[in-house]
Structure 1
Amino acid sequence: MTDTTPDRPVTATPPDPFAPATLGPLSLRNRVVKAATFEGVVPEALVTDELVEFHRRPAAGGVGMTTVAYLAVSPEGRTHAECIWLRPEAVPGLARLADVVHAEGAKVSAQIGHAGPVANAKSNRATALAPSRSFNPVSMKVTRAVTDDDITRITLDYQRGARLVAEAGFDAIEIHLAHNYLLSSFLSPKFNKRTDRWGGSLENRARFARQVVRAVREAVGDGLAVTAKVSLDDGVPGGFRLPESAEFSRMLEEDGCLDALELTGGSSLANPMYLFRGDAPREDFAATLPPLQRFGFKLIAGKMMPAYPFEEAYFLGKARQVRDAVDMPLILLGGINTRATIERAMAEGFQFVAMGRALLREPDLLARMQSGDQLEGNCIHCNRCMPSIYSGSRCVLDHPEPIVVPAAHTIR
């Protein structure tokens, strides 16, 4: 899917992406953020040595900040049971992770959220929540429509979770408002069929997300940077898309609670490949499933996981429309694989870039780009890293088997 949006005039003196930069109260050593990419290495829903090492590598490799994904604010808000949820027991491990990242010279951010309809109710042993009652293909169960009491409780869960992240010594919080997780599903006309004050107009559909963003900022004050991940386009018919996403971004800017927006797209529930682009690893995903589910998946895989051609900075065209709508700092995500693309993003008025797959394959890529030794990442966008979340996220071309932290390097 090629974006034909005309190029935006370049900034006369774009910032050096490898020079120190300010993000809210933070001073980052450069303008590159390791994007939140699900790690799949916390079987007990608590920090492990593997998770610490997962984030130490890109920190040592030169990123300005790395993002831990995904920290649920409520037990039923986990994507599945093997997912960290924010409670006092999680704080010591998160503090250890923060210390290790800081020792490498980088900052660390926590992506917090509630999975909503994306949650696997069977794995969590808790009914999945959604704006409206609907069938959940992830767990093959029906979601429950969120009540006003749920909204009050979940908002407080975000606030409590944010305080725990601050207690653990993290530098920033990224609020997940994308990919049809709970707050994103409220934004989407496809999933939000409500007729009360939480549905209908964009102002109503955005109310829950804005309430949560305010609550998180109140919880942490000015001590942490607070950003939000916002979908430009769900990539599904009837979903959240431009120009509403630009208008929602304006609302968030007017609220004055965020230090930056990270712009993304796609639906974890209905069209994950819209986020990733490149090859659709249907066979690899099918191999992770039990036989009966594997058969069913193969029947719908083509529709659920369509392939989109990869191109550098594939969200740039849509992101320009948000850039034109707001003055706040923006983080460009999606297909950032070369030094030239990073510099182009700066020239077009984006303050930061977020990199995912390129750093998954080469955690030290940024240091080599900065030195000039390497100008392009080696990621081929086969997306076979996607199914590896079930055994430890990694580039399976370089690491066919799960990466194990040697006993001699165990971090205590």
Structure 2
Amino acid sequence: MTEVFTPAQLGPVTLRNKVIKAATFEGCTPEALVTDELIAFHREVAAGGVGMTTVAYCAVAPGGRTDRHQIWMRPEAVPGLRKLTDAVHAEGAAASAQIGHAGPVANAASNRLPALAPSRMFSPLGMRPMKVPGESEIRELIAAHANAARLAEKSGFDAVEIHFGHNYLTSSFLSPLLNRRTDRYGGSAENRARLAREIACAVRDAVGDRLAVTAKLNMEDGVRGGLTVPDSLRAASWLQDDGALDALELTAGSSLLNPMLLFHGDAPRREFAKVLPPPARWGFRLAGRSFLKEYPYQEAYLLERARQFRRELSMPLILLGGITNLDTMNRAMAEGFDFVAMGRALLREPNLLRRIQSDATTRSACVHCNECVPTIYTGTRCRYRLNKPVVESSSVQLEVRASE
């Protein structure tokens, strides 16, 4: 039908097509372990036709979660994750585990463990100072990423995606605004990129050529003094030269300071205020408008930035941001991107790709209201998806939870 629906190689893994379900918090793990609901979430997307689905978020340490209900990679998590990957594979898709440490975005109060930052900062989530790791602790964090990758392999994942975006820990080290260190992990762009490079190499060493290894990399933070495209390009070039990654997924924005740069579209301030716990809720009511800025939605809204990376890099790149229709997918392929990643459109319609394959004129029903984003605390869903869908597959008929 079109190039996007032809098989593609991602490192050692062959995907049935070039569409990846992007990592979006599922909110389905109240005990920090896989649930039937989480399996249903990913199985439905896999049955809907994606080449690979990404499980978000698998923290490398208990303190690396944005709240204590998220999965952290440990032996107890492996049996449930294996059930999940088996279910995804039964539908013909591959599975990727997004691994990382939330760093400044971690919720210290929820985790009951200190949040980490490259330099001294106050945590608005934990309402306490963050911990600055020394070099010995940084080595432990690098080892934790490698261990998480090994556990992902035991769990049957085909790939791991390392989180280098959104001012999570590694992304915060890349940021000149957040990283004011004077040791070998701070100062110059090369020093600030050191942690990302060492983590990528450690993960590759852990899984060899048995798994695909990708990274989600910020092109820019979207805040004054933060990571810019030129600095990110330098980091991407070094990551490419190291040869540890099979692809980069390009993103933007800061979960800590400017999250809407990633999403574009409506800013759901009222919905966020309802779900945040105090005292974060009170602070949000005062500063919500400056925190959740509005960026007009358009298809492929990160493409202009991503083109600069495509021109400079030879490694495979994954285009994210406003990929909802076949025309946009074809445009990405024509501009040299190897894969496209979809998020919100698949929350609204997990079977969207099947529909597009049946009718090339199909348009996504997603209205980019972003009201799905605050639901990450209670089970990620599209509020406009009112039906209770039934997934048809060759192996199972699976009924999934209706949106509320």
Q: Shorter-chain TM-score category?
A: over 0.9
Check conservation: 2:117, 2:131, Cα contact below 8 A.
Answer: yes
Q: Which residue of 2 aligns with 1:127?
A: 114
Q: Which residue of 2 aligns with 1:253?
A: 240
Q: Which residue of 1 aligns with 2:82?
A: 95
State how 1:95-244 maps to structure 2 within 5 Å: 95-244=82-231
Check conservation: 1:39, 1:392, Cα contact below 8 A.
Answer: yes
Check conservation: 1:217, 1:226, Cα contact below 8 A.
Answer: yes
Q: Which residue of 2 aligns with 1:4?
A: none
Alignment deviations for residues 232-263 of structure 1 (CA, whole Å, 9 cap, x no partner): 11111111111111111110110001110000
Residues 283-292 or 132-141, more deviating: 283-292
Q: Which residue of 1 aligns with 2:394?
A: none
Q: Secondary structure at the match of 1:321?
A: helix
Q: Which residue of 1 aligns with 2:266?
A: 279
Equivalent of 1:336, from 323, 341, 346?
Answer: 323
State how 1:250-329 maps to structure 2 within 5 Å: 250-290=237-277, 293-329=280-316
Separation (CA, whole Å) in 2 of partners of 1:78 and 1:50? 20
Q: Which residue of 2 aligns with 1:12?
A: none
Equivalent of 1:370, from 328, 343, 357?
Answer: 357
Q: Which residue of 1 aligns with 2:37?
A: 50
Separation (CA, whole Å) in 1 of partners of 2:325 and 2:77? 36
Q: Secondary structure at the match of 1:145?
A: coil
Q: Secondary structure at the match of 1:183?
A: helix
TM-score under structure 2 normalisation? 0.95
1:293: Cα distance to partner?
3.9
Separation (CA, whole Å) in 2 of partners of 1:396 and 1:295? 25
Equivalent of 1:63, from 29, 50, 58?
Answer: 50
Check conservation: 2:326, 2:360, Cα contact below 8 A.
Answer: no
Separation (CA, whole Å) in 2 of partners of 1:308 and 1:261? 24
Return the structure number with greater relative CO, CA threshold 8 A, min gap 6.
1
- Seen in structure 2, the aligned counterparts of structure 1 residues 293 and 329 have a Cα distance that, compared at 3 Å, is closer
1:296: Cα distance to partner?
2.4
Separation (CA, whole Å) in 2 of partners of 1:294 and 1:256? 43
- Seen in structure 2, the aligned counterparts of structure 1 residues 138 and 216 have a Cα distance that, compared at 3 Å, is same
Separation (CA, whole Å) in 1 of partners of 2:106 and 2:48? 33
Q: Secondary structure at the match of 1:322?
A: helix
Q: Secondary structure at the match of 1:227?
A: strand
Separation (CA, whole Å) in 2 of partners of 1:314 and 1:291? 34
- Seen in structure 2, the aligned counterparts of structure 1 residues 52 and 321 have a Cα distance that, compared at 3 Å, is same
Q: What's the C-alpha RMSD, in Å, of the aligned pairs?
A: 1.9
Separation (CA, whole Å) in 2 of partners of 1:180 and 1:232? 11
Matched, 1:38 2:30: no
Residue type of the alignment partner of 1:16 = E
Q: Which residue of 1 aligns with 2:393?
A: none
Q: Secondary structure at the match of 1:185?
A: helix
Separation (CA, whole Å) in 2 of partners of 1:96 and 1:278? 35
Percent of pairs identical after alignment? 60
Separation (CA, whole Å) in 2 of partners of 1:289 and 1:112? 25
Residues 369-378 or 228-237, more deviating: 369-378
1:300: Cα distance to partner?
0.2
Q: Secondary structure at the match of 1:144?
A: coil
Separation (CA, whole Å) in 1 of partners of 2:29 and 2:170? 24
Check conservation: 2:116, 2:130, Cα contact below 8 A.
Answer: yes
Unaligned runs of 5+ residues in structure 1 are 1-14
Matched residue pairs, number? 394
Residue type of the alignment partner of 2:65 = R
- Seen in structure 2, the aligned counterparts of structure 1 residues 322 and 407 have a Cα distance that, compared at 3 Å, is closer
1:20: Cα distance to partner?
0.7
Residue type of the alignment partner of 1:332 = L
Separation (CA, whole Å) in 1 of partners of 2:45 and 2:361? 16
Check conservation: 1:368, 1:374, Cα contact below 8 A.
Answer: no
Following superposition, which runs of at least 4 residues in structure 1 exceed 3 angstroms of deviation? Answer: 290-293, 405-409
Residues 96-105 or 231-240, more deviating: 231-240
Separation (CA, whole Å) in 1 of partners of 2:106 and 2:354? 36
Check conservation: 2:40, 2:400, Cα contact below 8 A.
Answer: no
